[in-house]
Amino acid sequence: MIDVENVYRQLLKPSAALIADLAALDGDILILGVGGKMGPDLARLAKNALDIAGIKKKVIGVSRFSETGLQHDLELAGIETYKADLLNDEELQHLPDVKNVIYLAGTKFGTTGNESFTWAMNAYLPGRIAQKYKSSNIVVFSTGNVYPLTSVGMGGADENLSVQPIGEYAQSCLGRERIFQYYALKQHTSTLIYRLNYANDVSYGVLLEIAKAVKHQQPIDLRMGNVNVIWQADANEMALRALHHCTVPVKILNIAGPETISVRWLAVEFGKMFGTTPEFVNEEQPTALLSNAAEAFRLFGYPKTTLKMMMELLAAWVNAGGRTISKPTHFQERDGQF
């Protein structure tokens, strides 16, 4: 029987490479949008790495902090916090100037029917952030959704493939990228665009959604028949280490797992773990939303958390009734409606 808590804690520990990279980093680290799915563990990972290195740099997190208790928990972990609505320019301008910025703020879920807010968050706000932090290194979280669906046999879209965003969410994310690219050139702001596809943790992600569907014998839609997945802790490490790779013009970097994974295979494997038979609807299509992260692996090495490790941990978590976040990825969507 897997010890879920122990395994999970081990996966949250910073690597030697991350410790060395943050020790060599000039200046403090500011995380904008720290209250989201990845932000809290990203902040804790950075603080742990700096503590192990014996370096007295600050880790600062900014959020609206709508989740009760999160701001207090981060403060207890030694992370300096600011409660702010980034769309409120007065509150934005009162934030500290910091040399290294990781920009997580954005919106995806509920885009359909709320398109104007999506564009404000994903395409207007980046301009205000870029102007405020024009002298910083900025790692900008984006998404593989800016790419077109590609042939499953192609191995995923690499950074040289022309973008073709499907739907308003993906279009607004490309808007975010273009605004940061514009200000990087205008202000000479070193920037890296971090195209993520898809992060997973015990509380959310494609793997969790498939595992829960198999466990509860709910039908699994096979229209998006193949996916990429990466463990959140590995994705967070790469985000922090990416601060050393911000450039002018902007560097674009795909972040994803190394495998092109069959959704059907995932469901069958989870079925073996749960003792259930997966139920499927629809058929696999010849194209899917897939990213090629070979350049990230060249810079940072392969993720330390293997696919089977993720699956075993998630199966144990689901069996134990662990807490999950009710924010589905909608990975099945092929028309960009989120």
Task: Assess whether pLDDT exceeds 90 at residue 7.
Answer: no
Q: What is the distance between the alpha carbons of residues 64 and 105, in angstroms, rounded to a whole number?
A: 10
What interhelical angle do 263-274 and 307-319 show, nearest 10?
50
User: For residues 4 and 187, which has the higher predicted lDDT (pLDDT)?
Assistant: 187
Would you state the pLDDT for residue 257? 98
What interhelical angle do 206-215 and 307-319 show, nearest 10?
50
Q: How confident is the model at residue 338 (pLDDT cuts 50, 70, 90)?
A: low
Give 195-241 as a 3 state SS string: EECCEEECCECHHHHHHHHHHCCCEEECCCCEECCEEHHHHHHHHHH
Task: Assess whether pLDDT exceeds 70 at residue 10.
Answer: yes
Q: How confident is the model at residue 111 (pLDDT cuts 50, 70, 90)?
A: low
Would you state the pLDDT for residue 192? 98
* Single pTM value for the model: 0.96
Strands, E assignment, the chain: 29-32, 59-63, 80-83, 100-103, 137-143, 150-151, 191-196, 199-200, 219-221, 226-227, 230-231, 251-255, 261-262, 279-281, 287-288
Give the mean pLDDT of 234-258. Answer: 98
Counting residues of the chain whose pLDDT is more than 90, the rounded percentage is 89
Task: Assess whether pLDDT exceeds 80 at residue 166.
Answer: yes
Give the mean pLDDT of 178-199. Answer: 98
Would you state the pLDDT for residue 147? 98
Tell the burial category of 287 from Cβ atoms under 10 Å away from its Cβ (0-12, 13-18, 19+).
Answer: middle
Task: Assess whether pLDDT exceeds 60 at residue 1.
Answer: no
Cα distance from N-terminal residue to C-terminal residue, the chain: 37
Average pLDDT along the chain: 95
Q: How confident is the model at residue 3 (pLDDT cuts 50, 70, 90)?
A: confident
Give the mean pLDDT of 8-18. Answer: 90
| 291-314 tens-digit pLDDT | 999 999 999 999 999 999 999 999
Q: How confident is the model at residue 110 (pLDDT cuts 50, 70, 90)?
A: low
Would you state the pLDDT for residue 41? 96
Task: Assess whether pLDDT exceeds 70 at residue 225.
Answer: yes
Picking from 269, 261, 271, the residue whose alpha carbon sits closest to that of residue 218 is 271
Give the class (CATH, top level) of 4-201+229-258+290-303.
alpha beta
Residue pair 280/210 in contact (Cβ under 8 Å)? The answer is no
